Structure 1
Amino acid sequence: MQHSTQTSPADAATPKGAAVGTAVRTKARYQILALLAVGTMINYLDRTVLGIAAPQLTKELGINAALMGLLFSVFSWSYVASQIPGGLFLDRFGSKLTYFLSMTFWSLCTLAQGTVHGIGALFAFRLGLGVSEAPCFPTNSRVVATWFPQSERAMATGTYTVGEYIGLAFFSPFLFMLMGAFGWRSLFYVVGGVGLVFGVIWWIFYREPRDHPSANQAELDYIEAGGGLTHRKKDADAAAAPAKGGFEWRTIGRLLKHRQLTGICLGQFAGNSTLLFFLTWFPTYLATERHMAWLKIGFFAIMPFIAASVGVMFGGIFSDWLLRRGTSPNVARKLPIIAGLLLASTIILANYVESNVVVIVILSVAFFAQGMAALGWTLVSDIAPDGLLGVTGGIFNFAANLAGIVTPLVVGFIVAATGSFVGALVFIGAIALIGALSYIFIVGDIKRIVLAD
């Protein structure tokens, strides 16, 4: 059996359920996972609350639809541009400080949006929000790689990822009621304030595994046997910095020469395209293409998000179950993603049915499948070179979130040119198929990338 810097299938299967040694294994890693899940939920509420506030905000500030579209997109421009710098910051300063600063500044940018009286300030704070949120998902991936054995990483990734959907599905009605009672500015104050409080909670309770007071040696051995605890110094954040001469920009090109990274980047772009359709154009689709009343939209819109939440958890649990049963990482990690992307392409079928109920079922299945495919961050943990998880995650998130720029614009162009969403759904379905083909033919073996000196 091969033993090298990457985690072998044998290593992945080692922590199967019994504790290493005789001590009862603690579960401090689940406390850390809860922090990630709540942080991710707040992250997505902060970036999407502008859409909820838009009807009142546009009237008060005199913003037309074209300008509002620009405000929606500007977040993605700064978010994408900051991915690699955010990853470098993470590799240099570690998870605890990076996540604390990220959440604090993005929450301040959210809160500040409630104070604006003109388009310039709102534009600036949306830019700031994108920059501040950029290190969030690379940090999530690094924490999972540190705290969880390989056999539990898909479950962990699915658990924090589901926060994206839970927040939007279950808190949006509360936010609509809040806006009705206190106005659109209250949304930014409440969501931003919650983020500031949680930033303090993160700073107090997050620890690296060997410094966590609730993690005993049995749990540490269990994590390490499965490929976690990659940072071995007492000061894990200091150990996160690359050991040989620091970061060089040519490292990005060297990483992208590896098919594992380029393949998962293309696949994640495809999955995010489906996600972005639901985050941006879905309510408009229901109102204009399906002619649903707003009350009915509020009732129906929650269903695909619930389905996506289930899909995220199912994909992660299924992947880890396959790995624990001895299935190779290639199959265990890639099968749920490929199946999810193929199933997401069925969104095209909504063009050919009349019943609104059937349309919602089709869209829910497609969003469930997109949730299944949201395991890409698990693969980042599996393939990133030692000491470069932050920058690898930054490259991955950069590529993935290009969908935040491309998809809303392409869908908008198609709808404007044709007066219909038929072509837009075909575009979303075709991109999902391309993502599945990327995982089938490009990604190759799931193994840790080793960069030659």
Structure 2
Amino acid sequence: MTVSSDFKPRSAWAMTVLLTGLALINYLDKVVIGVVAVPMSKELGLSHAQFGLIAGAFFWLFSISTIAVGFISNRVKTRWLLLAMGIAWAVLQIPQAHMTSLFALLICRVLLGAAEGPFMPTTIHALYKWFPDTKRTLPVAIVSQGAGLGLLMAGMLIPLVTSRFGWRMNFLILAGIGFAWSVLWLCFGREGNIEHKAASAQAGASAEAARQPLRKTLTNASVLCTILLGFAAYWSLTQVFTWLPTYLEKGLGYSHVQAGRLFALIIIAATPINLGLSWFSQRLMGRGVGSRAARVKFISIAYIVSGCIYVLPLMFEFTTLQKVLLMAVGAGLPTICFSIAPALLAEVVPETQRGATLAIYAAIGSLGGAISPALMGEIVQHGGAAAQAYEKGFATCAILVVLAALVALSWLHPERSRRVLETTAAPARSTAV
């Protein structure tokens, strides 16, 4: 595969930096509800189950909006879609700073989730217009670390803001940050136009594959396996950023500020894991190693190790600090999916269907984020909010990530799936002739 002269590294990395900033805001918006959970629940009189319901409500319209914008992204420039998202997020922070009831908070989180749902697939679609296939994993991983940086800042700064100005001030600060990014993007954000040129026979087959119905693409075994991996990753990530601060404070007995700092420590630990594995995976791809080995096995091994770590606190006695360290590794490993899985989809799926497929992948995956906080809330509620109750909730991730890994090892074959999709398009070509 060769890359056209449209590839401009400096501009591509400049867009990566800007989009990393948006990812930071995206995750600050998500995680703030978990970091202020204790003072907010106390003021509003929320039970653990009610808080879990509110946390999961963020994802109620997440999938619908993600799919809708995914199809739109095939026709509308991602530059304008991302600008609209940045502005919408900022606007929706303001009412959250003034809500006084469970219902009002619920509505705010539902609307914000609808606005933020399309972010990651749209961002990846935008980045793939700047980078060739063999160079895509690392920039997506870096943007994903904008999410990690957002979680880190949340753990470090939100407790300080809360202790000094009250928990509501955090939402107003986030509104200001969102508006500031939107101005920067309006001034400097651009649309990529890189083209990937394969050998003429392969290019012809890919063109014909693009004509096949989207349902054939979505029912391909590799695509389905990748979606399952995304579902498990969203389940784990959402459960962690929603409930980990409360687990540290209520389950392990740390103070509010200490819990925030330890939360930040866990995020710091996840960053080198994600970047290191993403870099090594991309390096292997650059050396000609197949994506089955360089991508699929990387994700699968990371998931299996994460699943084992999640169940260890239920099997053995650990100190509170040891539990924090285990959570740092266990929560960090599944995040590798967010940088590698989209590259797997882009490898298999025709470019004309990429935006929609990435959106559907994120939409279905995010359903894990809608379910896991509410399920965790019920588990903690019935367990009396003891440390073991939280640990049982986190252990639900173990079942899901190990299952997803085993399914991927059995049926996720990107090279084979690409050939299958190209072959099934051939009859359509003959019929048309």
User: Shorter-chain TM-score: what band?
Assistant: 0.7 to 0.9
Is the contact between residue 144 and residue 157 of structure 1 (CA under 8 Å) also seen in structure 2? Answer: yes
Residues 45/67 of structure 1: CA separation in 2 closer, same or farther (3 Å cut): same
Match of 2:242 among 263, 280, 295: 280
Residues 157/307 of structure 1: CA separation in 2 closer, same or farther (3 Å cut): same
3-state secondary structure, aligned to 1:310: helix
Match of 2:91 among 102, 108, 112: 108
d(CA) in 1 for partners of 2:178, 2:302: 32
* Aligned position for 1:347: 310
* Aligned position for 2:414: 445
Residues 427/172 of structure 1: CA separation in 2 closer, same or farther (3 Å cut): closer
Is the contact between residue 36 and residue 160 of structure 1 (CA under 8 Å) also seen in structure 2? Answer: yes
Moved more, 145-154 or 103-112: 103-112
Is the contact between residue 152 and residue 267 of structure 2 (CA under 8 Å) also seen in structure 1? Answer: yes
d(CA) in 1 for partners of 2:142, 2:244: 24
d(CA) in 2 for partners of 1:292, 1:181: 19
* Aligned position for 2:325: 361
d(CA) in 1 for partners of 2:36, 2:396: 28
1:412-451 paired onto structure 2 within 5 Å: 412-419=377-384, 420-421=388-389, 422-446=391-415, 448=418, 449-450=421-422
d(CA) in 1 for partners of 2:66, 2:147: 18
d(CA) in 2 for partners of 1:115, 1:251: 47
Residue 330 of structure 1 pairs with residue 287 of structure 2: no
TM-score (normalised: structure 1): 0.81
Q: CA deviation at 1:429?
A: 1.2
1:219-234 paired onto structure 2 within 5 Å: 224=196
What percent of counterpart residues are identical? Answer: 24
Q: Deviations over 1:401-451 (max 9, x none)?
A: 111122223333334445533533432212110111122112222465557
3-state secondary structure, aligned to 1:209: coil
> Unaligned regions of 5+ residues in structure 2, if any?
200-208, 429-433
* Aligned position for 2:375: 410
Residues 51/398 of structure 1: CA separation in 2 closer, same or farther (3 Å cut): same
* Aligned position for 1:213: none
Is the contact between residue 79 and residue 133 of structure 1 (CA under 8 Å) also seen in structure 2? Answer: yes
Is the contact between residue 82 and residue 131 of structure 1 (CA under 8 Å) also seen in structure 2? Answer: yes
Residues 428/24 of structure 1: CA separation in 2 closer, same or farther (3 Å cut): closer
d(CA) in 2 for partners of 1:147, 1:183: 42
Residue 135 of structure 1 pairs with residue 118 of structure 2: yes
Letter in 2 for 1:348: V
Residues 395/321 of structure 1: CA separation in 2 closer, same or farther (3 Å cut): same
TM-score (normalised: structure 2): 0.85
Q: CA deviation at 1:62?
A: 4.6
Q: CA deviation at 1:349?
A: 1.2
- What's the Cα RMSD here? 2.8
* Aligned position for 1:205: 188
Q: CA deviation at 1:135?
A: 1.6
* Aligned position for 2:69: 86
* Aligned position for 1:186: 169
Residue 388 of structure 1 pairs with residue 353 of structure 2: yes
d(CA) in 2 for partners of 1:118, 1:286: 26
d(CA) in 2 for partners of 1:260, 1:24: 28
Is the contact between residue 29 and residue 148 of structure 1 (CA under 8 Å) also seen in structure 2? Answer: yes
Q: CA deviation at 1:314?
A: 1.2
Letter in 2 for 1:323: M
Match of 1:150 among 133, 137, 151: 133
d(CA) in 2 for partners of 1:203, 1:287: 40
